[in-house]
Structure 1
Amino acid sequence: MDDPNPTRVQEATQSTDLDVARDFLAEAYAGQQWSADQTRQPFSFRYTAVGDRSMTLRTIRFDGHLDGVMTPSEDFVVQWTTKGTATIGTGDDQVRMEPGRPQLWPQQGAVFSYDDYDQRIVQVNRAALETVAGERGTAPGALRLDHTVRPDDRALQVWRSSVQLISHTVMDRQASPLLQAEMGRLGALALLELYPVVSASLPADLLLPKNSHVRTAVEYVHEHAHLPITTADVASVANLSLRALQHAFQRTVAMSPNGYIRHVRLDRVRDALLAGDPATTNIAVVARHWGFAHAGRFSASYAEQHGEYPRDTLRRS
């Protein structure tokens, strides 16, 4: 029977030849300087990939030692091991994998070393993730995730539940293209919950170690500005009291937490107006989408922040 989804990716290979396995993986991931050695146990290798152009789920079993350099990638790759040992990066940037705990690959690439491992991978296409992130206000071409973040328990639970559902669906050869696409969207949403988007507009001071709590709070605001978040939510995420949060925001960004949330949302309105069609875009609808119900106050706040009224921005789109 013909595959109902011609865009499906489905691949499987295995080998007991160490060099063949190394070369296969190096080619699949555009790797550099990859080397492999046999360990105490007999060598065995197996690889599977299933999904579509937006997202693939992959498994790798490599009974041996493998190291090399992963080159920069446009895709976003989350991987975790179920057995074996693995490290990514070097020096202060080195991450030692914990079995079962997902880790985002650095977008800029990294060195790695693996031994006798089973690995699970979710690979999300950049264009697919940008589409979903764009709905949250991230400008095209500005999407970058912070791989150094250690996801909290809630984000991990969302991720694991999503991956389990996605896996059951994409393994079904009869799954429709529409259902497959919905799974890709679910994977993108779960990934954005797992790792925060790094805002290109963060003040330089927030990159200092002493301001790590405030940076967490600011990144949370940028990532969740489309949701009804409160100052209490931001304080909880940053592990700060409300009073400490207020002082920290005044010191680093010169405004209150509520003011900062409003500031980010006004930026998102501007992005939407610049990307809109003047003939069809309704400014009031865009404003309400970002939480501004009072037209007069919204227009005044927008003009104060951006130096022009919303209608002027829309005319220039």
Structure 2
Amino acid sequence: MTDERARVQDDVRSADVDEARDFLVGAYDASEWRAETTAQPFTFRYSAVGDTTMTLRAIRFDGHLDGVMTPSDDFVVQWITRGTGFIGEGDDRLVSAPGRPQLWPQDGAAFTYQDYDQRLVQINRASLEEVAGERGAASGAVQLDHTVQPDDRAVTMWRNTVKLISHTVLDRQVSPLLQAEMGRLGALALLELYPVVSATLPDELLLPRNAHIRRAVEYVHEHAHLPITSTDLAEVASLSLRALQQAFQRQLGVSPNGYLRGVRLDRVRDELLHADPAATSIAEVARQWGFAHAGRFSAAYLDRHGEYPRDTMRRA
């Protein structure tokens, strides 16, 4: 079988501001970008390494550059190490803080950069969705919330992961297998950095006043496969445990533990619907999602989905 992950290895330099702008417009399939020199002597360098699944990119641009980044199906995280950068306009404008990762809006956005060094990690959507699907996200519907400010733990993990990936993929002799593992590692780090936006969230949770509980709900959808507790969710939401419980009852009509149990029951159903009945044990799938007691599991499943697990399996 042919490996479809073609290697990417680019290194471009220029001392002409218009030539540099035109190269970037072509690299990002954009148009109408504006570039001009500043008090700094103009210098431009662009490098990219990786494959079609994930690339690491670096840009040095001693000048002013602005324009609009077009919508992309890939996920791009950028950060600057020098200079200034702004993404978006008006109330939605995001300031690029040196060393702080920022996910690009997938719908595209205006930008302004000046006298800057920038690092970018670009991850293919199919690659991210494959990893997200293993963690229970719905296939073909993965969206990340670029407005979230990642916590220090996630940022530290992201930096350490990118450092490891960089050392590996810069080796021209790296094997395709190890290259693929680095792409998977990058996708995992990105999913820790930014939460998956669930399409099943009630509209009420999208209101700014409900941002705290929304963070907890998104955390449940993203980490339902892990042994999380109500205390963990309260910490994520920056609420007391009592306030979290009251918010869940008020907005969702269920306790935090009840909501988590419902999400896990949904994940069980998804697995049973796509399982091979001859090779799948309902009890084993249930245990994987935290349901150890067969009788209580079946009753909870019936209450949630209106049928027993074996009936779902028959329709697989």
State the partner residue of 1:20.
19
Q: Which runs of 5+ in 2 are unaligned?
A: none
CA contact (8 A) 2:5 2:51 kept: no
Q: Deviations over 1:105-129 (max 9, x none)?
A: 0011101011111000001111110
- Code of the residue aligned with 2:236 in structure 1: it is V
User: What are the within-5 Å matches in structure 2 for residues 1-317 of structure 1?
Assistant: 7-317=6-316
- Code of the residue aligned with 2:68 in structure 1: it is V
Pairwise CA distance, 1:5: 10
Report the 3-state secondary structure (helix = DSSP H, G, I; strand = E; otherwise coil) of the residue aligned with 2:139: coil
Pairwise CA distance, 1:280: 2.4
Report the 3-state secondary structure (helix = DSSP H, G, I; strand = E; otherwise coil) of the residue aligned with 2:114: strand
For 2:315 and 2:112, the matched residues in 1 are separated by 51
For 1:259 and 1:56, the matched residues in 2 are separated by 41
Number of residue pairs the alignment of both structures matches:
314
> Structure 1-normalised TM-score?
0.96
CA contact (8 A) 1:139 1:271 kept: no
Q: Deviations over 1:81-108 (max 9, x none)?
A: 0011110001111001101100000011
For 1:5 and 1:298, the matched residues in 2 are separated by 43
Q: Percent identity?
A: 71
For 2:101 and 2:232, the matched residues in 1 are separated by 25
For 1:241 and 1:169, the matched residues in 2 are separated by 43
Q: Deviations over 1:114-161 (max 9, x none)?
A: 111100000111111001100110011110000000000100111011
Q: Deviations over 1:161-210 (max 9, x none)?
A: 10111111111111111111111111111000000000000111111111
For 2:121 and 2:214, the matched residues in 1 are separated by 27
For 1:87 and 1:111, the matched residues in 2 are separated by 8
- Code of the residue aligned with 2:85 in structure 1: it is A
Report the 3-state secondary structure (helix = DSSP H, G, I; strand = E; otherwise coil) of the residue aligned with 1:100: coil
CA contact (8 A) 2:282 2:310 kept: yes
For 1:6 and 1:253, the matched residues in 2 are separated by 44
Give 4+ residue runs of structure 1 displaced > 3 Å after superposition. Answer: none
Q: State which drifts further: 87-96 or 173-182.
A: 173-182
Q: State which drifts further: 148-157 or 22-31.
A: 22-31
CA contact (8 A) 2:34 2:67 kept: yes
Report the 3-state secondary structure (helix = DSSP H, G, I; strand = E; otherwise coil) of the residue aligned with 1:175: coil
CA contact (8 A) 1:5 1:176 kept: no
CA contact (8 A) 2:5 2:52 kept: no
CA contact (8 A) 1:5 1:177 kept: no
Q: Deviations over 1:200-233 (max 9, x none)?
A: 0011111111111100111111111010001110
- Code of the residue aligned with 2:49 in structure 1: it is V
- Code of the residue aligned with 1:144 in structure 2: it is Q
For 1:206 and 1:5, the matched residues in 2 are separated by 41
CA contact (8 A) 1:12 1:46 kept: yes
- Code of the residue aligned with 1:234 in structure 2: it is L
Q: State which drifts further: 32-41 or 184-193.
A: 32-41
Pairwise CA distance, 1:30: 1.5
Report the 3-state secondary structure (helix = DSSP H, G, I; strand = E; otherwise coil) of the residue aligned with 2:21: helix
> Structure 2-normalised TM-score?
0.97
Report the 3-state secondary structure (helix = DSSP H, G, I; strand = E; otherwise coil) of the residue aligned with 1:112: strand
Q: Deviations over 1:211-262 (max 9, x none)?
A: 1110011111111101000111011111111111110000011000000010
